[in-house]
A and B are shown apart, each in its own frame.
Chain A
Amino acid sequence: MMNAAIQTSLAQLQILKAKALAVLRKGENYELKTELNSEYKERRKEAVRRVIANMTVGKDVSGLFTDVLKNMHTDDLESKKLIYLYLINYAKTKPDLVILAINTFVKDAEDGNPLIRALAIRTMGCLHVQEVLDYLCDPLRRCLADANPYVRKTAVMCVAKVYDLNRAVAEENGFVDAVRAALADSNMMVVANAVSALAEINAMGRGDVWRLDAATAGKLLTAVNECVEWGQIAILEALIDYVPGDEKEAESICERVLPRLQHANGGVVLTTVRLLLKYEAHVRRADLLAQFEKKMVPPLITLLASEPEIQYVALRNINLILQRRPRLLGKEIRAFFCKYNDPIYVKFEKIDVLVRICSERNAEPLLNELKEYAKEVDVDFVRCAVAAIGRLAIRHEAAADKAVAVLVELLQMKVDYAVQAVVAVLGEVLRRYPRRFEGVVATLCEHADYIREPEARAVYAWALGEYSEHIDGALGLLSAAAESLLEEDARVQLALLSAVVKFFLKQPQRGQQLVVRALQCATEKCANPDVRDRAYIYWRLLSADPTAARTVALSEKPPVCPESTNLPDALLAELAAELGCVSSVLQKPARHFVYAHSEKPG
């Protein structure tokens, strides 16, 4: 009853609120309407500004369409730009009204000022309305042949929009051919935009509208050195999709784009690296390949002195490159050392790269560096660093001694979260090198009180059983651990059961009491069915056939293999082809994140 009443009054309140808001909004729009029709130029200008301001924060000002349109014919460039913005925003909802603006557009496209000509043609393209298309063709044709390159480069981009709207119109009017011809334009900006536009058009269609041929490739190579950075990226992208006719051509293209590696814009640098890696398939001369490789390194390192966001993208890509070419950056480890104030995402990537470039030669300084990180305050960072030390130990046999020494040193510092990480990692290392680091186990046991997390405790329990003969008072430690069996995590319980059984099999006299107690406790009181099952199995095995139990529990286990942290080959190849692109940074192929390939920006 009460509830219903409250609901009704709430609903009423909602309606009231909506009404009040509507009145308020109407009020403002009404005021703007008067202002837009003011006889004073300045007030009209200010009103236009306010309309756009409202539009940009998402308020609906579409009701003012005709009033705004009245102000379109102005010589004030700023107002004109704003009104054009307004038109772009609302053209799709009111295409019939846009026709009213067409005359001004067509006139502006013939204005004496190149900026206004370009603005008009750009806006008409952006309107993305079929109705405008008929009126757009003539001005566009003129602008494509305009004397001013600024107008030409804008017109070229407009063709892509027309193509998107209506392919037939774009082709019948020869616009696409005009863009192809613009590849030979005397102005490099126009050339670069033509490349972008054609790439866009290709992406919209079946990709067969334009194919780079040898002659044009040559022209683009000249243009790439002279146009602005964004044009360079567009041209390099086009060259990446190009298949060179023969080895000579591939070599010459590579040599001519090499200077692009030395560019302040990281986008240019990475796209060039991608081109070189892609063309490698066509170049056979080893000396050239070595030279390209050598030239790639310094710019990649320089990227690491940029803003952290750029560093991140660079590091993710370096990571990929290293999976194909582990030796590329072997001499540059210092560039990947973490700074204290690096964002955490940069630090993680740097550590990952450090592990990848580790070799026998640089293992020592690297381990010292990782040790520094493991002493820091940030818990996640410390875990990452400790895990990295473990990975190094597992991968590089020669560095294992030093790595274990570092791990033991960290253990002895008794810092809680570091201890958990170190013990967990030590488990892996001990399994990788059976019988090599028996001495470590004693140290492990000395710090038993600090081992808290299940993963670490499971390692501890495992070590007690596996190395019991090397531990003084192993029985006492095992008994103590078995005492609190029920309080442990299932992982630890399983490890403890195995340890107790191993100990019993090694020293039946001393371990008998312990094993009975532990198995009894596990079978009778333990809630976890897996643990109970395991205990039953051990129990039956031990009572039925102790020799068989020996072969099962004490069998020699194969050592852990150095895990491969590389991505699967097929994925790697796919990502490497898109080096420097979104997919290579997210490390998943484009089809997994791109919403709809066919959807193109207008």
Chain B
Amino acid sequence: MDSLFILNASGAALLEKHWCDDRAIRRASLVVVPAFARYLASVEAAADAEPMWSGPQGTVCIHIQRQELIYLGIVSREVPPLEVLELLEGVVQALGEYVGRLSELTIKENFVTVYQLLSEMVDSGAMVTTDTAVLRGLVPVPNLVNRVLENVSGIGIGPERRPNVNTSATPWRAQGIRHSTNEFYVDIAERIDAIIAASGAVVAYDVNGEISCKSRLTGMPELVLTLNRPEIMDDVVFHPCVRRRAWDAERTIGFVPPDGPFKLASFHVAMETSPRSLPLHVRAQASRSGGTHTVEIAVDPGQCHGRPIEKLGVRVPLPLQAYNIGVQCKTGAHKVTNARPPQVEWTVKSVRPGDRGLRLSIQYHMHGEAAAAGGAPPAEQQGVAAAFVDFEIAGYSAASIKVDALRLLRESYKPFKGVRYVTKAGSFQVRF
């Protein structure tokens, strides 16, 4: 990678960092970035700008947009773009941890930290690390107390915090960790991605899960985690601490845990698309009589081991020309946001397994339709296209994955162990 830019939404550079020679630097800031800004302005919606754009003078611009900022990497030779994209993603993550919400203002205020981080993450154009645990050892986290103290007393506390470079055989775990109480928590969080047809038939249904842990254990413990049906997980990605051999041979997860919270594994489960298996069923219908358009959405809880569905939210974006919007629902609360396009949001705090007949009904009229009512063809297709569903079910695993056992080896104490399950909606949408 030659250069990295952080741009605001209109494509003006807030910060730049280069790993190339003078000529390339000038090319990047004077030619490539302005050209890229023009490209951004030329696409209709900024979100539709292709992440890889072939820039002037043989450069390639690779960018991501997060919140209001654009992170742009410029490369001029053959590299894996995913490496750049993952790095940019890592930059966003790390900066977020250091400075909080990322905006034009926070970037400018914290440019010193941002610069230090970027120099550690990339050395002469090669990616070095994006691991925030490692970075914290190299660049001190700025905090308010620190700042105030420095400014008031004139004494910097920076250099006292010796950076540590862990070089042991288990770089993720330091020697001699002690805790007064030994605890280990496992969270299995699953995310359902689904596309549902209007009839309620399931078009696509996937579960992506994450096993995250929080470790407060003394010494050098070794843990062995056994799951009930490891064979259904089809793309398992582990934290580097997990012993691959044990997993390959007997499908157990053996590891020396890092201290504190960490992500142990992520996995994917392809679900059969029978409607019974979903924790909730949604049907949607859009109709029109005269000038009135009606949208009906019906939600019924499915089988989720008697757990209530919480924080149910249904979001329906209406056509741009919709007006006179009326909403009825017997359960829960609803809200109409007059954004462009207008949206109806329906929220139900909790749905019990026995609850039936949760219905949302929306009526609206359309601008400019009265004239076309004489049977002339509509100039363009109008109507609602999709509804987005959000929910959370605690204590339930959509893929039916359970922790069978969690054993502790190499240390003699008995830790407190806790396991939690939660299933949430990922990208869960219903078509009309």
Contacts and interface: CB of A to CB of B under 8 A. Distances in A.
A581 interface: yes
Interface in B348-383: 377-383
Interface stretch (B161-169, B300-308, B327-335): B161-169
A305 B156 contact: no
Interface residues of B, number: 96
A266 B165 contact: no
A16 to B, nearest CB: 25
Interface string B225-256: 00000000011111010001000000000000
A228 B20 CA distance: 24
A196 B426 CA distance: 38
Contacts, number: 255
Interface in B36-56: 47-48, 50-52, 54
B175 interface: no
Nearest to B271: A334
A53 B111 contact: yes
A340 B431 contact: yes
A85 to B, nearest CB: 6
Given A148-B167, A305-B193, A601-B20, A52 B112 contact: yes
B59 interface: yes
Contact of B380 (A416, A578, A594): A416
Nearest to A112: B162
A230 interface: yes
A427 B151 CA distance: 76
A265 B156 CA distance: 37
Contacts of B138: 115
Contact of A113 (B2, B75, B76, B163): B163
A583 interface: yes
Interface string B364-407: 00000000000001111111011010000000000000000000
Nearest to B121: A230
B290 interface: no
Chain A's interface size range is 35 or more
Interface in B186-236: 193, 195, 197, 203-206, 208, 234-236
A586 interface: yes
Given A148-B167, A581-B81, A602-B20, A40 B154 contact: yes
Contact of B81 (A57, A150, A313): A313
Nearest to B426: A305
A395 to B, nearest CB: 23
B344 interface: no
B115 A52 contact: yes
A161 B124 contact: yes
A19 B57 CA distance: 34
B51 A271 contact: no
B156 A76 contact: yes
A189 B151 CA distance: 38
Contacts of B385: 340, 376-377
Interface stretch (B21-29, B95-103, B275-283, B416-424): B21-29
B58 A418 contact: no
B76 A262 contact: no
A205 to B, nearest CB: 15
A450 B163 CA distance: 72
B116 interface: yes
B54 A586 contact: yes
A418 B381 contact: yes
Interface string A572-602: 0000001011110110001001111101111
B266 to A, nearest CB: 7
A600 B431 CA distance: 50
B159 interface: yes
B174 interface: no
Contact of B75 (A42, A302, A379, A582): A582
Contacts of B29: 58
Contacts of A599: 21, 23-24, 76
A508 interface: no
A122 B388 CA distance: 50
B411 interface: no
A191 interface: no
B60 interface: yes
Given A193-B126, A307-B64, A298 B82 contact: no
A594 B115 contact: no
Interface stretch (B127-135, B176-184, B291-299): B127-135
Nearest to B128: A230
B356 to A, nearest CB: 28
A310 B85 contact: yes
Contacts of A301: 235, 268
Contacts of B81: 313, 580-582, 585
A375 interface: yes
Contacts of B144: none
B244 A343 contact: no
B50 A312 contact: yes
Contact of A601 (B2, B129, B131, B377): B2
A264 B119 contact: no
Contacts of A590: 77-78
A282 interface: no
B83 interface: yes
Contacts of A308: 51
Nearest to A581: B78
B125 interface: yes
A26 interface: no
B15 interface: yes
A78 B158 contact: yes
B206 A305 contact: yes
B254 to A, nearest CB: 15
B127 A340 contact: no
B427 to A, nearest CB: 6
16 contacts: A41-B154, A49-B112, A82-B112, A125-B124, A157-B126, A228-B129, A230-B130, A309-B51, A377-B382, A418-B381, A580-B80, A581-B78, A582-B78, A585-B52, A593-B54, A594-B78
Given A82-B112, A601-B124, 6 more contacts: A52-B115, A78-B158, A114-B163, A298-B268, A595-B57, A599-B76
